[in-house]
Chain A
């Protein structure tokens, strides 16, 4: 998640930069457009102003030309009036003349005013004025002539009239003036057209470029708006996703703090971990999560300062829930800044790592315990990994490897690894072990190694493969023990067992002889009795045949002889006198149980010893009693040696019976006793086993009886049977004397 966040913020920065340049571009566009419009406006304004000036001038010029025209026409009006007066003599015709004379002067003064700024025209006007005055004076003279001298004089005056030439002058002068004004007008018009054209150009250019720029700005703005919309939408979506994520996170408390450390937001994970609901905590200072001593030490402020300075503060420590309970927390506080680098607040992600801490603690503890135990129980430990191309590569060897093997780990490695010191006879065991380990299963094997000095030593190696996920390799941890002494002890025990078995065989032969003797004794006795009975009857019936009588006596004598042969055989096998010594029954049971351990293990049977704390000693032949106990144990094991017997348990108890006998009880969980066998099972040659001799229980019973005890069997309430024997304690009845 942190990576995603970073990527997001980068994208935002990029976007922000893009927005910045776009905004500048837009502003520049606007300014440009404004400038263009302003320039165009200015140009238009100045041109319009100039146009107005030239228009006023044109109008001025037109008025001058009008006035000039008016002067001409007034003069003609005056001339026409005068002529009318001359012809008619009517004073009426002098009206226009008088009006014209007045108007002309007014016109001329107007012209003077209008052309005040045109020196050329002023000069022409000044030159014109005396001509006009002269003309009017000339006409006045005509009028005077007519009035005083009549028509003819007047006509004459008129005919010779110098005024005509004057008139021509005036006309020409006025024409000049008019022409000058017309020229002025044309110039003005040209100027005006040029102005208008300039203005038009400026307008068109300004307007079009302004429009273009505005279009551009609009385009950019539009794009910006769309982009911003899109960005906002994306932002909203991402915010929604983020919020959903934050809301959905239950294992992390994700909260926001304002710059002062007051809680600004709260997620369900925070509620789950801390216990507060959003309503309860938002607005409160986050030091509420710290244990009091931490708060007093000013830790919350320190955390904020550290986060502000470094940007991110990470720690593991104790935090407090609403109910005051503590938990081990992993906390990351990050400072949040806005674009201008101002501190906006903090994000705080808290995780409850109590379980992890506990697991770590447990792991540490179990590791150290394991190390301690393996140091105690192992002579050396090692680890190697299996690599596809190199095979087993030893990583480390610790402990007394060198003391036991005589090789240093380096020597062993150089020689080709531990396998090279394995005893040749045990190589199959070692190879099989490696196969098992390589298949990922743990293995414990015992095998011999040949030490550097040639000694053969037994080691017991326990290997445990661990798949190293990170490296994709199988690593095997091993612990080895030097079990040479135990193996020797086991060999001695086996020897002892063999001797006991030998004794048992010898005893068996003796018991066989005894049983045989007993069985043969019965018919021999019957023969003797029959024969003697016959002899007696012969005699009693008087005069018996001496041969028959003799034969009868011989039958009896031979039967007695046969019995004596059997009797000698029996006493020969049983010639050893039973020993009697003080022994502890518990010791005997322990010894035998020890001998039987491997047998019980082979048969997957659990053997339990339940020995009375203290037993008085007995007077007995220890070996014989051991023989009985072993017999009973074997019997029990065989009774349970059936495929359907599960949870095979053989328990051996010793107890004090009253004051004068001790008891041994061997219980099995086998098939129990068949009622039809109950009577016979202690008889010699009785057996239910395919290859049994049927002597075991018989021998056992005779041994126990010879010790003054009893041996019997009872069925167990649940399953199986219990065989018990009792032996009198020593110091009670003296068995030897009996």
Chain B
């Protein structure tokens, strides 16, 4: 049972941390605050959904550096960068490193809450897609090598006869394999099977 989506606040200024918690909790959002990037990295579990509100200027590991570390660890938690006075180069770098948003302090509560909600939503979607992909992957791994070959050719849009000819099988056997693939992949149509295979292909660089 995954925890509720949470807003993780990393800011070296205690007043900023506490006031953000105060504001975010006023709309019922769970909040976790950290005084430093290192502290956050130490406690955060990648399965915990939500978003990260990050002060870009901090002693020790800066906000930008933390973004780099998260990217290196394939943690896709959405990041909202908060800064005192937005300097153009800093903002550019923050966004390039993967922040979804950049907010100047002091900010209007509406703006921040909107962005936080959007970020949580984005995170939820990412996690769902990931969950689907993981399920499809699990199903795919249950296929025999021959079934995988058949699935590959089916999703390529080839007819049973063509597949039989290519794999040097009888059309009957291809028919059987195809039925097994549809069943194991838990799909009802070739269109769904193609969608599942696309989901699998989006799996790049992930184990």
Of the candidates A536, A537, A705, the one whose C-beta lies within 8 Å of that of B89 is A705
Check A536 against B109 for contact (C-beta < 8 Å).
Answer: yes
Q: Which chain A residues in 336-376 approach chain B with CB under 8 Å?
A: none
Check B85 against A525 for contact (C-beta < 8 Å).
Answer: no
Check B26 against A738 for contact (C-beta < 8 Å).
Answer: no
Interface flag for A522 (CB, 8 Å)? yes
Q: Which chain B residues in 1-26 approach chain A with CB under 8 Å?
A: 13, 15-16, 18-20, 22-26
Name the distance in Å between A327's Cβ and chain B's nearest Cβ. 78
Check A533 against B59 for contact (C-beta < 8 Å).
Answer: no
Q: Choose among B20, B25, B106 the residue with the greatest number of A CB atoms under 10 Å from its CB.
A: B106
Q: A517-B84, A529-B20, A706-B87 are in contact. Are A536 and B27 (CB under 8 A)?
A: yes
Of the candidates B88, B106, B108, the one whose C-beta lies within 8 Å of that of A563 is B106
Check A532 against B18 for contact (C-beta < 8 Å).
Answer: no
1/0 contact string of A543-561 vs chain B (CB within 8 Å)? 0000000000000100110
Check A521 against B105 for contact (C-beta < 8 Å).
Answer: yes
Contacts of B18 in A (CB 8 A): 526
Q: A525-B16, A526-B19, A529-B23 are in contact. Are A518 and B87 (CB under 8 A)?
A: no
Name the distance in Å between B119's Cβ and chain A's nearest Cβ. 17
Cα distance, A523 to B23, chains bound together (Å): 15
Interface flag for B48 (CB, 8 Å)? no
Check A533 against B19 for contact (C-beta < 8 Å).
Answer: yes
Cα distance, A551 to B187, chains bound together (Å): 60
Contacts of A228 in B (CB 8 A): none
Name the distance in Å between A295's Cβ and chain B's nearest Cβ. 91
Q: Which chain B residues in 73-95 approach chain A with CB under 8 Å?
A: 84-85, 87-90, 92
Contacts of B13 in A (CB 8 A): 522, 526
Of the candidates A533, A540, A563, A705, the one whose C-beta lies within 8 Å of that of B22 is A533
Q: A536-B23, A563-B106 are in contact. Are A526 and B85 (CB under 8 A)?
A: no
Q: A524-B106, A738-B92 are in contact. Are A683 and B26 (CB under 8 A)?
A: no
Cα distance, A527 to B23, chains bound together (Å): 11
- A536's nearest neighbour on chain B, judged by CB, is B26
Contacts of A604 in B (CB 8 A): none
Interface flag for B205 (CB, 8 Å)? no
Q: Choose among A522, A523, A559 the residue with the greatest number of B CB atoms under 10 Å from its CB.
A: A522
- B109's nearest neighbour on chain A, judged by CB, is A532
Contacts of A683 in B (CB 8 A): 59
Name the distance in Å between A507's Cβ and chain B's nearest Cβ. 16
Q: Report, as a range, how many residues of chain A touch the other chain.
A: 20 to 34
Cα distance, A537 to B89, chains bound together (Å): 37
Interface flag for A323 (CB, 8 Å)? no
Name the distance in Å between A54's Cβ and chain B's nearest Cβ. 165
Q: A522-B13, A525-B107 are in contact. Are A533 and B25 (CB under 8 A)?
A: yes
Q: Choose among B85, B90, B107 the residue with the greatest number of A CB atoms under 10 Å from its CB.
A: B85
Check A525 against B26 for contact (C-beta < 8 Å).
Answer: no
Interface flag for B60 (CB, 8 Å)? yes
Interface flag for A60 (CB, 8 Å)? no
Contacts of A514 in B (CB 8 A): 85
Q: Which chain A residues in 353-408 approach chain B with CB under 8 Å?
A: none
Interface flag for A680 (CB, 8 Å)? yes
- B60's nearest neighbour on chain A, judged by CB, is A679
Cα distance, A534 to B18, chains bound together (Å): 13
Check B88 against A738 for contact (C-beta < 8 Å).
Answer: yes
Cα distance, A153 to B172, chains bound together (Å): 260
Q: A522-B15, A679-B60, A680-B59 are in contact. Are A528 and B85 (CB under 8 A)?
A: no
Name the distance in Å between B77's Cβ and chain A's nearest Cβ. 22
Q: Choose among A527, A528, A533 the residue with the greatest number of B CB atoms under 10 Å from its CB.
A: A533
Cα distance, A528 to B13, chains bound together (Å): 15
Check B15 against A523 for contact (C-beta < 8 Å).
Answer: yes
Of the candidates A522, A530, A738, the one whose C-beta lies within 8 Å of that of B84 is A522
Contacts of A556 in B (CB 8 A): 109
Cα distance, A532 to B106, chains bound together (Å): 11
Name the distance in Å between B24's Cβ and chain A's nearest Cβ. 8
Contacts of B16 in A (CB 8 A): 522, 525-526, 529
Q: Which chain B residues in 143-193 approach chain A with CB under 8 Å?
A: none
Check B23 against A533 for contact (C-beta < 8 Å).
Answer: yes
Name the distance in Å between B112's Cβ and chain A's nearest Cβ. 8
Check A530 against B106 for contact (C-beta < 8 Å).
Answer: no
Cα distance, A522 to B84, chains bound together (Å): 7
Interface flag for A567 (CB, 8 Å)? yes
Check B22 against A529 for contact (C-beta < 8 Å).
Answer: yes
Check A522 against B88 for contact (C-beta < 8 Å).
Answer: no
Name the distance in Å between A42's Cβ and chain B's nearest Cβ. 148
Q: Which chain B residues in 46-86 approach chain A with CB under 8 Å?
A: 57, 59-60, 84-85
- B27's nearest neighbour on chain A, judged by CB, is A536
Cα distance, A533 to B108, chains bound together (Å): 11
- B88's nearest neighbour on chain A, judged by CB, is A738
Cα distance, A735 to B93, chains bound together (Å): 12
Contacts of A532 in B (CB 8 A): 23, 26, 108-109
A-B residue pairs in contact (CB < 8 Å), sample of 23: A517-B84, A517-B85, A518-B57, A518-B85, A521-B85, A522-B16, A525-B106, A528-B107, A528-B109, A529-B16, A529-B19, A532-B108, A533-B19, A536-B27, A540-B27, A556-B109, A560-B106, A679-B59, A679-B60, A705-B89, A706-B89, A738-B88, A738-B92
A interface residues, Cβ below 8 angstroms from B: 514, 517-518, 521-530, 532-534, 536-537, 540, 556, 559-560, 563, 567, 570, 679-680, 683, 705-706, 708, 735, 738
Q: A521-B85, A705-B90 are in contact. List 19 more A-B contacts (CB 8 A).
A: A517-B85, A521-B84, A521-B106, A522-B13, A522-B15, A522-B84, A524-B105, A525-B16, A525-B19, A525-B105, A526-B18, A528-B19, A528-B107, A529-B109, A533-B24, A533-B109, A536-B26, A560-B106, A705-B87
